[in-house]
Amino acid sequence: MADVKPIGKALFLREEELRRGIELMFFAYRDFTGEADSILAEQNMGRAHHRAIYFIGRNPGITVSDLLAILCITKQSLSRVLSGLMEDSYVVQKPGASDRRQRLLYLTATGTALESRLTSLQGRRFAAAYREAGVDAVDGFQRVLRGLLDSDTIEQIAQQDQTSDI
Amino acid sequence: MADVKPIGKALFLREEELRRGIELMFFAYRDFTGEADSILAEQNMGRAHHRAIYFIGRNPGITVSDLLAILCITKQSLSRVLSGLMEDSYVVQKPGASDRRQRLLYLTATGTALESRLTSLQGRRFAAAYREAGVDAVDGFQRVLRGLLDSDTIEQIAQQDQTSDI
DNA sequence: CTATATTGGTCAACATGGCTGACGTAAAAC
DNA sequence: GTTTTACGTCAGCCATGTTGACCAATATAG
C-alpha cells in the first residue's frame, strides 16, 4: 500500500479530517446537552423548554416574535412550550409599554434559578474544556464554529450583540 | 461604570465567554445539520436515519449492538429506523460468519450514494469553515470539542480508531 | 448435553417536539 | 375604518426518543 499516489493520499487525509470534524460535532453536542437533559427530565421538561428559558434569561423582556426568530421554530411549537413554562411559573409575560400587543417575556425567580443551574452546568463543562485546550484553542474553536454558521445566523447574532443591554 | 471591581469584571467576562460558547454550539449544530435535514426530508427520512447510514458507511459490517453503543439509543428506536432503511433498500444485513446471531450491516449502492451526498454536503461546510479559520484554529477546535466529551465517549472513540480497518 | 447468556427482533404504549392549516382577538398603523 | 401585526389556540400529523414484556436463534460455560 506504499504505492498510493500522493494526490490520493492527500484526498484521503482530507476526507478523514472532515469526517473527524463531523463525528466530533455529533458526539460533543450530544454529551454537551446530555447533563442538562437529565436535570430537565426531573422537572418534566425537555430541551425545548431549556432553549426558551435560556434565551429569555439572556434577553429579559424579549418579545415572542424575537424569540421565535432566534429559535427558528413555529409559533405553535413555541406557544406550547411557553404555556407550560408560564403554568409552572418559570416565566411571566407583561404587555409591552409602547406596543401593548406584545407580551414581553421574563423569568420568575424559579425560572432564573433553573436557568442558572443549567447554564452553570454547561458552563463548567466549557470551562474545563477551555482550560485543558488553552487560550489559543478557544479562539480557534470559536472561529471554526462561526464558520459553520449560515449567513443569516451570523447577521442575527451580530444584531443581538448590538441591541443587548450590556 | 468604571468603578466596577476588577474581580467582578473578570467574572463577568468569563461568564460572557462561556455563554458565547454555549450559544455558538447551539447555532452551529443547528445550521450544520440543517442542510442535511432538508435532503433527508425529501426522502421521508430524519436525522436518526442519517446517523445510522453514516455510521454503517463508516464501519461496514458493523453489528447492531456496536451501532447501538455508538448511537446511545434503545434497540427499539434503532430497530425501527433500520427496518425502514432495509425496506427502502438503503441497508442490507448479512449473518455474521463466526457468530451467526449477529446481523452485519452494510450500505447498498443506494445507501452509499445517499451517505456520500450527505457527508460531502456537511464536509463542504466544514472545509469552508476550516479554510476561513486556518490550520491552527482547526486544531484548537478539535481540542475543545474533545474536551466537551464525556469520558465514556472518549474511550469509545479511541477504541473505534483502533479497530477501524484503515 | 443442558443450562445460561448473548444477539437481535417485535409488539404495545407513551412523551416530546417539530410541523401544517385554520381561525380568533386585540391593538397598531395607515 | 380598514388593514396589518402580534399573539394565541385548536386539531391533527410525523419522527424519534422512552419503557416493559416477550420471543427466537445461537454461542458458551458447566
Which of B4-8, B68-72, B153-157 is predicted with the least confidence, judged by mean pLDDT? B4-8
Length of chain B: 166
Q: Is residue A52 part of a domain?
A: yes
pLDDT at A8: 63
And the C-alpha cell for B118?
Answer: 450527505
Residues having Cβ less than 7 A from any atom in strand C: A 44-49, 51, 72-74, 76-78, 80-81, 99-101; B 63-66, 68, 75-76, 78-79, 82-83, 93, 96, 99, 101-103
Average pLDDT over residues B152-162: 82
pLDDT at A163: 61
Average pLDDT over residues B72-90: 95
User: Residue A36: which of A94, A119, A106 has the closest Cα?
Assistant: A119
Where residue B166 falls among pLDDT bands split at 50, 70, 90? very low
What whole-number distance in Å separates Cα of residue A82 and Cα of residue B112? 42
Contact A148 B51 (CB under 8 A): no
**Residue A27 belongs to a domain with what CATH number?**
1.10.10.10
Percent of chain B at pLDDT exceeding 70: 90
Q: Is residue B151 part of a domain?
A: no
Distance A11 CA to C20 C1' (A): 44
Q: In terms of residue numbers, what domain contains B62?
A: 46-133
Q: Is residue B97 part of a domain?
A: yes
Answer whether residue B42 shows pLDDT above 70.
yes
And the C-alpha cell for B110?
Answer: 443506494
Q: Which amino acid is at B73?
A: I
Q: Is residue B84 part of a domain?
A: yes
pLDDT at A1: 53
Asked if B77 and B83 count as a contact pair (C-beta separation under 8 A), the reply is no
Mean pLDDT over all residues of chain B?
Answer: 90
Contact B142 A32 (CB under 8 A): no
- Number of domains forming the structure of chain B: 1
Which of A13-17, A116-120, B142-146, B148-152 is predicted with the least confidence, judged by mean pLDDT? A13-17
Where residue A156 falls among pLDDT bands split at 50, 70, 90? confident
**Nearest residue of B to residue A156, measured between CA atoms:** B27
Q: Is residue A19 part of a domain?
A: yes
Contact A147 B157 (CB under 8 A): no
Q: Is residue A161 part of a domain?
A: no
Q: Is residue A157 part of a domain?
A: no
Element holding A143 (H helix, E strand): helix A135-148
pLDDT at A56: 97
pLDDT at B81: 96
Distance B85 CA to C9 C1' (A): 15
Any strand D atom closer than 7 Å to B143 CB: no
Q: Is residue B143 part of a domain?
A: no
pLDDT at B120: 94
Which of B136, B139, B144 lies closest to A130 in CB terms? B144
Q: What is the CA radius of gyration of chain A?
A: 20
Q: Could you report the per-residue pLDDT of A37-58, keeping only the tens digit for each? A: 999 998 989 999 999 999 999 9
